[in-house]
A and B are shown apart, each in its own frame.
Chain A
Amino acid sequence: MAFETPRLKQPRPWAWHRWALAAVPLLFLAVVLVAPAVRLMLEGGSADLWAPWQDSYLRGRLLWSLAQAAMTCGLVLLIGLPMGWVLARLDFPGRGLLLRGLMMPFVVPTLVAAMGVLALMGPRGLLAQWGGPDLQGTPWLLLFGNLFFNLCVLVRAAVDALSQVSAARVAAARSLGATPWRAFWRVEWPAIAPWLASALCLVFLYCFSGFGLALVLGGQAYATAEVEIYTLVAHELQLGQASVLSVWMLLLTGAVALGYAAVERRLATPARADGVSRRPARGVAQWSAVMVTVSVWMLVCAAPLIAIAHGAMFSGADAWGVLREDDTLLALYNTVQFSLLALVLATVLGVAHALAARRVLWLRTLVFLPFIVSPAMVAFGLLLLYPEASGSFGVLVAAYALLAYPFVAKSVASRLDSLPAHYMEAARSLGASPWRCFWRVTLPLLAPALRRGMAFAAATAVGEFAVSLFLSRPEWATLTTLIYQHLGKPGAVNLGAAQVLACVLMGLALLAFVLIEWPDKEGDARA
């Protein structure tokens, strides 16, 4: 595709302003992530680097982590690609809603999602009630949970990629007698494969280094290496073993992240003007495809959430009474406050990182550091390194921002890649200063991607799970911690209150998402 867009002049990768930009996220990462993790490793002392592979238990954990991530990748590709095709090629009422609905899992706190999954597939779940098997205690529970959270990643990538496929080339293939299948395999597939590969890398990373979901759905038998690190650090204080294990996780995920960054850089071609346009769905085959897509969405993404809402609805007046409690109001206020502050910080960090990392592979890879490094290592490292700041407001906000900012950086970075260079060049040649050019040309072009990244970041911050690993203070309790508090006591009213609060949390996250992403003028799934 290189012949499509000749690049006139590449900006020098390491001009001083790039260094200045890069310094912001790099310093942040160093202070709140790298230094604490390294400090904790030093505390643990030396341990044999090969120990995790020699111990059959730890080896099993590592291999299972790899296997469940790989299986999830297979599943999302199998299910997500056809869904993506339907959404990219066919127009039908509610299409936009469905595209946004796909994002719903992202706004659900992990434990709540796990409860939803169990309500579907547990012993008393719908599946069992309809004569299906009870999946509790099997690996399928974790795989379904992974699917629930990651299907949208692949579907959105597929939709974006398919809408960039050259309409002229597809039309040419068809007019030369290719069947739609053949046209797909010979024209569309090669064009979208890199996009899918990039999405799959991301899914792999999320699943491999994912923590909360594996902790709750994997159970003890299907715990991943990340869960093992958490146990070693928080409960057994075996810092040496934990460090070695996390070094291996870092190496393995680092390789995937590097691959991801490389694939994504190859995608750095400006968006095409002649994308294939959507046609209204017609005929039995097309409408069935739409129906199947909607059903899969219902089954995978919506059903667990509906199960929770259902639980909340029938939890009784006493459980709903939780909404009138002062603690709930405080938690709501705190959640909003933390999320807003974290969002501001995450946006600054994310934009700076994305701009600095253009065409710099290692910087791009560093965006994934917050996903890769075990939250338990960071939490305990922070405690060790900055005991006087432990549980302080600043550290908590920084922790939220740390976990939210990669979403902003990723989204902005991929939009930067597809930005047509000639807009900026035109502005510069008309005499605009670099700053003016950024402010008047680049930023408006980036806006949709920025909004999407911020929406993800906000949803992440609202329902954050890992922060509960940090020290929490009652006066800064958030909705998530309040849910845990209710789940920490026996009794139907406590369970009901947790479900009601989970619904509030979902609503809040959805609101954040809609407020930030909805006024999308392009009206499409671009960027």
Chain B
Amino acid sequence: MPHGIFSFLKTTLGAALLTAGLTAANAADLRVLTHSSFTVPKPLLAQFEKDNGVKLRITKGGDAGEMLNKLILTKANPIADVVYGIDNAFAPKALAAGVLDTSTAAAAGRKPAAELPAPLVPVDYGYVTLNYDKAWFAKNGVAVPKTLDDLTQPAYAKLLVVQNPATSSPGYAFLLSTIGAMGEDKAFDFWAKLRANGLKVAKGWTEAYYTEFSQNGGKHPIVVSYATSPAAEVFYSKTKLSEPPTASLSLPGAVFRQVEGVALVKGGKQRAAAEKFVEFMRSPAVQTAMQTDMWMYPAEAGVAKADAFRFAPEPTAFNAPSDADIAAKGSDWVARWTKVVLK
């Protein structure tokens, strides 16, 4: 009975949209689902359309986790043909849900600078890690912390802001790095101590960085962000800077290497064009432009790194639980984190 109503409504709305000529879903469109940070220069996208005789229909689905949920929810009738922006933290969930399809593009076979479980084809990578406000530490005469445990000491009380792993992909990545480094139980002990020491939790990266981080008017001089953020601070500075006002702080156990990939969507259409899009994301032009657009390192091995990245040293070590553990326990960890830190 309810489904009868729904099909009636579907027809009503579908008909209304069609008669109004407003449905943009054209049979020749290649539907690309991305997270909201996706930025590729328009001329490159136009060139892709011209070269392959398709029209790109790019849809932004929110934060990486939110986007994946939308994909899983619409599994029966996918809203995209190809998806970009699922990273190694969310890959196990995507694989378990069976929403991805294998790509046969040449890029899938070329050795990338950072790996991802198939069928995801790596596009770029970066490091989620702590950033600190250099001016704050200089002004207050506090030494920069040397280990994660330092952050549980009174000298560092109320200095750290992290994102909620339930609502933010960098927040989730940071949680995974602590679990990867310390093991589950020790990691949650550590989080409990952080809470006792006045840990601040923000909903997402924007809130953490723009309202809580002392560099932007907040009161927390240490924030979970990316290793490339200091470089972006120079790139987007108001006045020409010779060095960044912030620096990344790659403490052991506080670095997660995030590898983002592209994959075909199971049940999607336009297979040929979708394969072309996978290849396109690994083309030198996109790999070069993307670096200072999305602030990630290129996955294509031969592509030169952007000049701006001289302010963004790559961390030498990083931690993560195994893919199998992430798949099996990822959501339990988030629930446990919520209990330990928020409730």
List chain B residues, Cβ under 8 A from A42: 2
Q: Identify the closest chain B residue to A475 (Cβ).
A: B58
A57-B343, A388-B23, A388-B25 as given contacts; A220 in contact with B219, CB under 8 Å: no
Is B217 among interface residues, defined by CB-CB distance under 8 A? Answer: yes
Cα(A391)–Cα(B36), bound, Å: 14
B13 touches A386 (CB 8 A): yes
Report chain A residues within 8 Å CB of B14: 386, 388-389
B22 touches A488 (CB 8 A): no
Assess the A389–B225 pair: CB atoms within 8 A. no
Q: Which of A192-200, A234-242, A438-446, A505-513 forms contacts with chain B?
A: A234-242
> Taking the complex as formed, is A447 at the interface, i.e. its CB lies under 8 A from any CB of chain B?
no
- Of the candidates A114, A392, A474, the one having the most CB atoms from chain B within 10 angstroms of its own CB is A474
Q: A383-B79, A473-B58 in contact; A31/B13 too (CB < 8 A)?
A: yes
Q: Which of A119, A315, A391 contacts B79 (CB 8 A)?
A: A391
A374 → chain B closest CB, angstroms: 15
Query: Could you tell me if A488 and B225 are in contact, using CB atoms closer than 8 angstroms?
Result: no
Given contacts A123-B218, A394-B22, contact A383 B70 (CB under 8 A): yes
Q: How far is the CB of A263 from chain B (nearest CB, A)?
A: 34
Nearest residue, chain B, Cβ from A233 = B69
Main secondary structure on chain A at its contact with chain B?
Answer: helix
| B295 interfacial by beta-carbon distance below 8 Å | yes
* CB interface residues, A 442-488, toward B, < 8 Å: 469, 471-474, 484-485, 487-488
B218–A383 touching, CB < 8 Å: no
B12 to chain A minimum Cβ distance, whole angstroms, is 6
A479 to B60, CA, bound (A): 15
Residues in A whose Cβ lies below 8 Å from that of B77: 387-388
Q: Are A235 and B65 in contact (CB under 8 A)?
A: yes
Does chain B have a CB within 8 A of A137?
A: yes
**Chain B neighbourhood of A236, CB < 8 A:** 166, 331, 334
- Residue A118 is within 8 A (CB to CB) of chain B in the complex: yes
Q: A392 contacts which of B17, B70, B233 (Cβ < 8 Å)?
A: B17
Task: Judge if B147 is at the interface, Cβ distance under 8 Å.
Answer: no
Check: A190 CB closer than 8 A to any chain B CB.
no
Given contacts A35-B9, A236-B334, contact A231 B211 (CB under 8 A): no
From 268 to 311 in chain B, residues with beta carbon under 8 angstroms from any chain A beta carbon are 295
A118: which of B24, B217, B238 is its contact (CB, 8 Å)? B217
Structural contact, B74 and A491, CB atoms closer than 8 A: no
Q: B61: CB under 8 A from chain A?
A: yes
The answer, among A119, A221, A469, for a CB contact under 8 Å with B217, is A119
Q: Does A262 sit within 8 A of B, measured CB to CB?
A: no
Cα-based distance from A215 to B70 in the complex (angstroms): 20
What residue in chain B is nearest A381 (Cβ atoms)? B73
B61: contacting residue among A35, A57, A471, CB under 8 A: A471
Chain A residue with Cβ nearest B230 = A490
Q: B36–A43 contact, CB under 8 A? A: no
Chain B interface, number of residues (Cβ within 8 angstroms): 69
What's the Cα separation between A125 and B218 when bound, in Å? Answer: 9
Q: What string of 1s and 0s marks CB contacts (under 8 Å) between A32-58 and chain B?
A: 100100110011000000000000110
Task: Report Cα–Cα, A394/B17, bound state, in Å.
Answer: 6
On whether the beta carbons of B66 and A390 are closer than 8 Å, the reply is no
Q: Assess the A231–B59 pair: CB atoms within 8 A.
A: no
B111 near A: Cβ within 8 Å? no
Cβ of A390 and Cβ of B9 under 8 Å apart?
no
* CB of A216 closer than 8 Å to a CB of B: yes
User: For A496, what are the chain B residues with a Cβ–Cβ distance below 8 Å?
Assistant: 238
Taken together as a complex, chains A and B put the C-alpha atoms of A272 and B3 apart, in Å, by: 52
Q: Could you give, for residues 51-92 of chain B, a 1 whenever the CB lies within 8 Å of some chain A CB and a 0 otherwise? A: 000000111111101100110111001110000000000000
- Chain B residues positioned under 8 Å from A136 (CB to CB): 211-212, 218-219
Stretch at the interface among B121-129, B173-181, B195-203: B195-203
In the bound complex, do residue A234 and residue B36 qualify as a contact, i.e. CB atoms below 8 Å apart?
no
* Cβ distance A304 to chain B, nearest Cβ, rounded Å: 13
B154 shortest CB reach to chain A, Å: 19
Q: Are A493 and B210 within 8 A (Cβ)?
A: no
In the complex, A319 Cα to B342 Cα: how many Å? 37
- Give the CA-CA distance A169 to B82 in the complex, in Å: 72
Contact of B211 among A115, A235, A489 (CB under 8 A): A115
Chain B residues 308 to 343 lying within 8 A of chain A, measured CB to CB, are 331, 334, 338, 342-343
Give the docked Cα–Cα distance between A474 and B61 (Å): 11
B69–A493 CB distance below 8 A: no
Determine if B12 and A31 form an interchain contact, defined as CB atoms under 8 angstroms apart: yes
Q: What separation, in Å, do the CA atoms of A472 and B38 have in the docked complex?
A: 12
Contacting pair A491 B232 (CB below 8 A): yes
Which A-chain residue is minimally distant from B343 (CB atoms)? A57
Contact of A39 among B6, B24, B58, B79 (CB under 8 A): B6
Q: Is B16 an interface residue (CB 8 A)?
A: yes
B342–A471 touching, CB < 8 Å: no
**B23 in contact with A392 (CB, 8 Å):** yes
Q: Mark B153-168, 1 if CB is under 8 A from A, else 0.
A: 0000000000010110
Expressed in whole angstroms, the Cα–Cα distance for A494 and B10 within the complex equals 41
CB-contact partner of A235 in B37, B66, B205, under 8 A: B66
Residues of A within 8 A of B211 (CB): 114-115, 118, 122, 136, 216
Q: Is the CB of B73 within 8 A of A43?
A: yes
Residue from B70, B295, B331 whose CB has the most chain A CB atoms within 10 Å: B70
Q: Give the contacting residue for B70; candidates A56, A114, A122, A471; CB below 8 A.
A: A471
> Which chain A positions have C-beta within 8 A of B191?
none
Distance in angstroms between the alpha carbons of A136 and B212 in the assembled complex? 9
Minimal beta-carbon separation of A31 from chain B (angstroms):
5
- Give the complex CA separation of A35 and B235 in angstroms: 47
Q: A487 touching B236 by the CB < 8 A rule? A: no
User: A393–B2 contact, CB under 8 A?
Assistant: no
The answer to whether A231 touches B232, judged by C-beta atoms less than 8 angstroms apart, is no
A375 to B10, CA, bound (A): 20
A235 touches B36 (CB 8 A): no
A73 vs B246: C-alpha distance when bound (angstroms) = 43
Q: Is A292 an interface residue (CB 8 A)?
A: no
For the complex, what is the distance from the CA of A32 to the CA of B13, rounded to whole Å? Answer: 9
Q: Are A137 and B200 in contact (CB under 8 A)?
A: yes
Would you call B78 and A387 a contact (CB within 8 A)?
Answer: yes
Question: Are B206 and A487 in contact, with the CB atoms below 8 A?
Answer: yes
Cα A319 to Cα B236 in complex, Å, equals: 9
Beyond A389-B17, A472-B59, 7 additional contacts (C-beta under 8 Å) are A231-B166, A234-B66, A236-B166, A387-B79, A393-B22, A491-B236, A495-B210
What are the 7 tightest A-B residue pairs by CB atom distance, in nearest-first order? A491-B236, A123-B219, A394-B22, A493-B236, A316-B238, A220-B201, A387-B77
Binding site for B on A (CB under 8 A): 27, 30-32, 35, 38-39, 42-43, 56-57, 114-115, 118-119, 122-125, 134, 136-137, 215-216, 219-221, 231, 234-237, 315-316, 318-319, 380, 383-395, 397, 469, 471-474, 484-485, 487-496
Query: Would you list 9 pairs from A and B whose C-beta atoms are within 8 A, ordered by A residue?
Result: A42-B2, A219-B207, A237-B69, A319-B238, A383-B74, A387-B74, A392-B22, A490-B236, A494-B236
